[in-house]
Amino acid sequence: MLSKWTRCADDVRIVAHRMNPVLKNSTSRFGPSLIQRSRAAGWDAWAGRVVAGVAAGVGISTVLVFAFLCLEAWPALVGSFSGDPSPTTLSQGDLDRVPADELRKYLGLSPAEFSTKTREQLRLLAEVRAETLAEERGQETSSGSPADWRHLILPRSGHGNDPAAYLWQPSGGVPRFNLVPLWWGSLKVTWIALLVAVPLAIAAALYVSQVASRGLRAWLKPIIALIAGVPSVVMGFVALTVLAPAIQRVFGTPFPLNGMVAGFAVGLAIVPVIFSLAEDALSAVPRDWSQAALALGATPWQAVRTVVLPAAAPGIGSAMLLGMAQALGETMIVMMASGNAPTLAWSLWDPVRTVPVTLALELGEAPRGGPHYRVLFLLGFLLLCLSVVLHGAAGWIRRRHAQVRGEAEP
């Protein structure tokens, strides 16, 4: 009782000290003057408005990220993409009537190039352009736009006798935007990463939470968590210069950069995520439980297997989901270590290309508003949704688990 009062007095002293200027102004004999009070209230109201305004701005910009991606991907998303309204073909006689600027755009020339061309050259260019336009129009009427859902998912036959194939060839004469090879690459890299990271992270978490002493734990946990702070470009560099040659020497693979190298490096990068969260979940299991199991004659492994792991399972599961989300979105490491070929091979030793890498490599070249740009935003939107769903599932498991155990959410 006494200690509570002294503590309270202590707090008042601290606050009184910090608020010294306020006290000086306001403890007149009759309390703060009305003017002082109303001025303070005015400031208060303004502060409240500013704070709420900034918070609203932050909320709106978060919504904006989603809305913008969805908007940019919309034509591809609903499959109503018709490309740019393809320009009408200009005939010979039109060449002189059309304004110079429009003609330049129609021919796809830069102003500098345009100004150097003679009239004869322009006429030839216009002929070539008219031919390509006619060809493209023929393509489109026969099979629809390349960004149609049919072509995004199903295989499409090429010229002549080529068999139908799943192709991602954004910069061919006839662009192919099949999403299947990209998602297949993402799937391969993510699974390899999880296969590497999950056993490693959970074993390390078990050691730190169950075997190591308290003092050791205080050191080990932050050191392993530091791996998360290593920039991904550094991780990619290590994969490129250390991991890839080593793996090639040991396994004798045909390609130095392949899905396995990338998956391994990504796995290393997501270990700290899974480790930290799994360790938290394991440490949250009351020590008494495992002690009771040990007292009943269980070995440490039996205590862990029958008591600690089941109790921490939801936490570990949510950690794995978060690790998976991060592996799925990892860009830099994969870009540097995977070889970046969009193939649909079964072999893990082939180069792969994942969805985020495709975005990073090609967005700079895709003309704004064209089919390539729309399909890239569609990929980004799908990736975003998947990532948010994985995070949401992880959060849901964690919250539900906390409810079951009767803990309030922090």
**Interface of this chain with another protein, residues 380 to 409, rule: CB under 8 A:** 380, 383-384, 387-388, 390-392, 395
- State the nearest-atom distance from the C-beta of 410 to another protein, in Å: 8
Q: Which is nearer to another protein, 156 or 201 (CB)?
A: 201
Q: Which of 249/399 has CB closer to another protein? A: 399
Question: Could you give the CA distance from residue 223 to residue 205 in angstroms, rounded to a whole number?
Answer: 13
Scan residues 262-281 and list those touching another protein (CB under 8 A): 268, 271, 275
CA–CA separation, 343 vs 52, rounded Å? Answer: 50
Report residue 87: phi and psi, to 5°: -65, 145
Q: Is 19 among the residues that bind another protein (CB under 8 A)?
A: yes
Could you say whether residue 100 binds another protein (CB under 8 A)?
A: no
d(CA 372, CA 363): 9
- 177 backbone dihedrals φ, ψ, rounded to 5°: -120, 60
Cβ at position 85, least distance to another protein in Å: 20
In angstroms, what is the minimal distance from the CB of 230 to another protein? 6
Q: According to CB under 8 A, which one of 65, 124, 134, 153 is a site residue for another protein?
A: 65
Span near another protein by CB under 8 A; candidates 12-20, 84-92, 176-184, 287-295: 12-20
Nearest approach, Cβ of 275 to another protein (angstroms)?
7
Site for another protein in 202-221 (CB under 8 A): 203-204, 206-208, 210-212, 220
- Nearer CB in complex with another protein: 156/244: 244
DSSP symbols for 121-177: HHHHHHHHHHHHHHHHHHHHHHH--TTSHHHHHS-B--STTPPPB--EETTSSS-EE
Taking CB under 8 A as the binding criterion, the range among 146-154, 287-295, 345-353, 356-364 that sits at the site for another protein is 356-364
Give me the phi and psi of 353, to 5 degrees please.
-135, 125
Choice between 104 and 151, CB closer to another protein: 104
Residues 6+ apart with CB under 8 A from 274: 197, 198, 201, 202, 205, 319, 320, 322, 323
Minimum CB distance to another protein, residue 151 (Å): 22
With CB under 8 A as the contact rule, the residue among 1, 58, 250, 404 that binds another protein is: 58
In the complex with another protein, the residue whose CB is nearer, 88 or 403, is 403
Structural tokens at position 86 = 């393809």
Choose which of 109, 227, 284, 348 interacts with another protein (CB under 8 A): 227
3-state helix, strand, coil in the chain (%, to 5): 75, 0, 25
What is the closest distance, in whole angstroms, from the C-beta atom of residue 306 to another protein in the complex?
13
In angstroms, give the least distance from the CB of 144 to another protein: 25
List the one residue out of 136, 125, 38 whose CA is nearest residue 82: 136
Using CB under 8 A as the binding criterion, the count of chain residues that bind another protein stands at 102
List the interface residues with another protein, window 234-253 (CB under 8 A). Answer: 234, 236-238, 240-241
Grouping H, G, I as helix, E, B as strand and the rest as coil, residue 69 is helix
Contact call for residues 277 and 319 (beta carbons, < 8 A):
yes
Residue 17 CA, chain-centre distance (Å), reads 47
Q: Find out whether 367 and 52 touch, Cβ atoms under 8 Å.
A: no
Site string for another protein, 295-334 (x = CB under 8 A): ----xxxx-x--------------------xx-xxxxx--
Q: Which residues pair with 156 in a beta bridge?
A: 165
